[in-house]
Structure formats: structure tokens, C-alpha cells
Amino acid sequence: MAFEGLTGKLQSVFDRLRGKGKITEEDLDQALRDVRLALLEADVNFKVVKEFIASVREKAIGREVHKSFTPAMVIIDVVHKELTALMGGAQSRLSRASRPPTVVMAVGLQGAGKTTTCAKLARHLQKQHARPLLVAADVYRPAAAEQLKVLGGQIGVDVFLPGGRTDPVEIAASAVDHARAHGYDYVVVDTAGRLHVDEMMMDELRQMRERIKPDETLLVVDAMTGQEAVRVAETFHRELSLTGVVLTKLDGDTRGGAALSVKAVTGCPIKFAATGEKIDALEPFHPDRMASRILGMGDMLTLIEKAQAEIDAEKAKEMERKIRSASFTFDDFLEQMEQLRKLGPLDQLLDMLPGASRMKELRAFQLDEKKMARLEAIVKSMTKEERANPDILNASRRQRIARGSGNSIQDVNRFIKQFEEVRKMMKQMSSLSGKKGGWNFLKGKGGRPFRFPF
């Protein structure tokens, strides 16, 4: 997962500082040496690391320690603020034209995930109640237009196809005219990439930019390529005056060097990050929230936003009622698993919980998607009556369920026992929480998250 190695190393540094009642200049120097090494191992640009360490040192020395804070907390606060500044400070939103459509031109090398990212961006805009038009302006890669057409079909977004034309500039210009005439809010242009940066490609992109005058020129770059991604960003920015960067495959980049370097080196803000293969896996990039994730502080704001967007409020209210009355059934378990999956991969959700990176047992469980699938198989092997009334699950029924789900009888017994224990626990917690309730997280309003500790 993103920044996994860096997060672990930084937490080790800060743990050593927390054990000290007073931090000397020597302690600070040692901590900053460790931070510097951790950043370099994360493939962060050398010059960026040098400037970052100097800035942290300058702000940390002589910083007044409030009586309610420890010196270690002050250092962590400085590092958090500097990480946030390094990645851009504040969120950089998509520009919006004064008169629609807003034109977004996506550029980049082959293999960075440009076509998929265009579809993900269209889906993001769709969620904002906008009407986007996807444009297939890559006439060189075989089946590029067909791929965009399929992706557009999956999310219900119109795709402007070449229609026999071979000039990408003309295709893009015609698409913008079409969007203007038919009331689209956004035009997302998928341009052709190359295996490497070449003058012919850049000249074509410059011509397109001059012709369609995009409000946003976004570079789509593979975060896993590290410093190569930063060099590509520098070249494209020099040639095309980029307005932003989209980092793809950030979920697979355990180092994070590109995310921490690209803004500082190019001056271009990171506007979005792709965190998975699904069409919904595109997040606006928030530097402060990302800094919190890197330091193991979690990112509850993003988690709550996901809940607000994905979880059905009416179903959440009904779930809360069942929890309070202890009438939670195995069918509800299946529905809850489906709701949870809408929020994204479990390991990414875990990264958003403060301190979760330290909970080894919880992480080991949560990452075991196969185990979750086995539990679902057990429930689906039950009859409708058994799901609604677990009390009738005698020995012969459990043996049948074990055979039907491909699990051992011990696995089935353990799951049923844990299910009953959790149901009792939820009943107790609901009675303690009173009218305010402890399950408001499912409504997207924060509070205690609902999860099964199986």
C-alpha cells in the first residue's frame, strides 16, 4: 500500500523521540538524519529531501513547547506541516470555465493508465452532478477508442469517437464544438501517448492545446516509476505548461517518492490520485490528509466522505434499528459486507484509521479478503430460515453448511459463535450509547464505525 515503508520508518523515529522528556539539539539531529534516510529510501528527490530537512530543522529549533504538549509532539507537528507544504499545501481543484464546457486535456506516456484515468475522471465529474463527454483522440494505439467506448458505456457517459478521422487535433476540436452545441459541462480528451517523450508527440499536443484551448492540461503519470515520473513531469510541463498532475497506481507504490517530489520539482499541483483499478478509484488529492496518512495519523475526513457518498442512509437507519433490537441476521451480515466493499479495498480503509498501521493483528485480519469470501460462502450455504434464525443451526445443519461452503465444521462453528458474540456486543453498545447512538458512521456523520472482528 502507498507509503508503507516510509510510514513505518517515520513512526520508529518519532517513537524514539516520545521516550524523551526533553529533546536536545543532538537528539533532533539524529532524528532528522533518520528522516532524511527514510525519505531517500522512499525515492524522494535528493534536492527536495535536502530542502525539506533544512526547513524542518529551522522551524523545530527554538519552537516553544506548549505545556500540554511534549517536545516530540511539536517535532511531529512541524514535520506534518512541512510534508503538507511539500505536496502543495492546499487542495488544488479542477478549474471550471466561465461558460461550459470546461475542457480537460489528458496527456502522458503509454502505460501510465491515461485512458482509464479519463474514464475515472468522467465518473468523478458525474458524481458531482456534471455531464461529461469523453473524447477518443488517440488514433495510434490499436483499440484505444474502443477501450474508451467500453469504459464510457460502463458508467453511462457519452464518448466522442473518431468516426473515420485520423487527425487527433481535428477530432478534439470537433468534440469541443459538439459538446458546446449539446450542453455538456465537461470535455475530457484522451490523447495519444508514446513509449518515450519525442518531439513529434509534443508538437501534436501543442497544436491540440492551441486549437482547443483547454482549461486544464493534466499529466497522467505512473507513481510507481518514482523519480522517472518526476522527470517526465518536468519535460511535459516545460513543453505544455501543465496545470496539474494525476498520479496513477498510488495504491501499489509502497515508497511514495513521486507524490512527495513532483510538486516541489515541477511546481505543478497533484490534483488526483488513482488508488485502485475500479472505475470509482480516483480521489481528489489533499496534501494535508496525505501527510496525515504518511505519519500514521489516518484520514478520517476522506473515510467519512466515502461513507457519505456510498452508503445508503435508509439502509443505515434500518441497520441501526436491527442492531438496537438485536435482530441482526446473517442476511444483514451479507448486506453489510457489500456496503463495506463500496468504500474501497479494506487495506486502504485501514490506512485511514488513526493508528491502524500499528495494529498488526487487525491489519492481518482485514487484509485477508479470502477469509471474508469464505465467511460469505458459509452464509450463502444456509437456507433462508437459517439465516433469519441462527438458533435452529443444530449439528446436522452445520455439517451440511460446511460441505456446501467448502469449509470445515470447526470453521462454521467458530463463525456462528463469533457472530452471536458480536450480536450481543452490539446490543450492549447500543444500549450504552442511548439515543445518540454509536453507529452514525454508517450515515456518513462520523462516530464509531461498524465492523465485524471475525
For the chain, list the domains and their CATH numbers. 4-86 (1.20.120.140), 102-295 (3.40.50.300), 304-443 (1.10.260.30)
pLDDT tens track for 186-202: 999 999 987 777 788 88
DSSP 288: H
443 confidence band (pLDDT: 50, 70, 90): very low
Print burial letters for 208-241: b (CB count within 10 Å at least 16), e (below 16).
bbeebebbbbbbbbbbbbbbebbbbbbebbebbe
Q: What is the CA radius of gyration of the chain?
A: 25
116 neighbors 247 (Cβ within 8 angstroms): no
Cα 245 to Cα 149, 222, 275: the distances in Å are: 24, 10, 14
Report pLDDT for 437: 42
At 311-328, the pLDDT tens digits run 566 665 665 665 555 566
How would you label 17-48 residue by residue, b for 16+ Cβ within 10 Å and e otherwise? beeeeebeeebbeebbebbbebbeebbbbeeb
One-letter amino acid at 299 equals: D
Strand order through the sheet with 158-160: 158-160, 132-136, 186-190, 102-107, 216-222, 244-248, 270-274, 282-284
254: which DSSP letter?
Answer: S
What is the reported pLDDT for 132? 96
Helix, coil or strand: residue 334: helix
State the Cα–Cα distance between residues 216 and 67, nearest whole angstrom: 47
Please say whether the beta carbons of 427 and 398 come within 8 A: no
pLDDT of residue 454: 38
Query: What cell was used for 197?
Result: 517523450
pTM of the model: 0.68
DSSP classification of residue 141? S
Residue 15: predicted pLDDT: 80
Whole-angstrom distance between the N-terminal and C-terminal Cα of the chain?
Answer: 23
Position 156 pLDDT exceeds 90: yes
Please enumerate in sequence order all residues whose Cβ is within 8 A of that of 56, keeping only pairs 6 or more positions apart, or say none: 32, 35, 78, 79, 82
Query: Which H or E run contains 54?
Result: helix 46-60
What is the C-alpha separation between 224 and 244, in angstroms, rounded? 18
In this model, does residue 226 exceed pLDDT 90? no
